[in-house]
Amino acid sequence: MPAPSYLKALLQGKCPRCRKGPIFKYPASNLSKFTVMNERCPHCDVRLEPEPGFYQGAMYVSYGFTVAALVAMSIIFYLFFSHSSEWFHIGTFIALMVLLIPVNYRYSRILYLYFFGGIKPLDEK
C-alpha cells in the first residue's frame, strides 16, 4: 500500500518520513492526553523530536493560528454581528480559542515538524 500524499499525511498527523505512523499517541478528543507525542515513529522509527527544545518554535506557528482566527472572526463579526457589544466579541473569541486548544497545539507542532524538522520523506531519498 503506497504512502498517502504529503498534504494528507500532514492533515492526519502522520510521520513526515513514512507518512504512516502517528505523531501523537492519543486522539485529540482525549483531552487529558492530547499533548502526548510518540518519541519515535511506530512505523519507521524516525525520531520525532529532532533536538531537545525543538518544539519551542511551534509557539510562533500557534501564535499565527490565533492571529488568523482573530482576524477571521473580526471580519465575520463586523459583517454579521456589528450591532452586538464588544464583550460578546471578546467572550466568543476566548471561548472559541479555548475549545480549539487541542487542534491549535497539535497542528502547530505538526506543521513545525514538517517544515523545520529536517526529516525527508522516504520517497525523496
Q: What is the pLDDT of residue 118?
A: 86
Q: How does pLDDT run across 15-35, given as a tens digit for each residue?
A: 999 999 999 999 988 989 999
Banded pLDDT at 119 (limits 50, 70, 90): confident
Cell representation of residue 111: 506543521
Distance CA 90, CA 110 (A): 28
Sign of CA dihedral 11, 45, 28, 102: negative
Asked if 58 contacts 30 with a C-beta cutoff of 8 angstroms, the reply is no
Asked if 40 contacts 46 with a C-beta cutoff of 8 angstroms, the reply is yes
Q: How does pLDDT run across 32-56, given as a tens digit for each residue?
A: 999 999 999 999 999 998 888 999 9
Average pLDDT over residues 117-125: 75
Does 2 have pLDDT greater than 80? no
Q: How does pLDDT run across 68-111, given as a tens digit for each residue?
A: 999 999 899 889 887 888 898 899 999 999 999 999 999 999 99
Three-state helix/strand/coil letters over 24-80: ECCCCCCCCCCCCECCECCCCCCECCCCCCHHHHHHHHHHHHHHHHHHHHHHHHHHH
Angle, CA of 92, 96 and 98, to the nearest 5°: 120
pTM of the model: 0.85
Q: What is the pLDDT of residue 93?
A: 93
Q: Could you write out the DSSP letters of every residue in 29-43? A: T-TTSTT-B-SB-TT
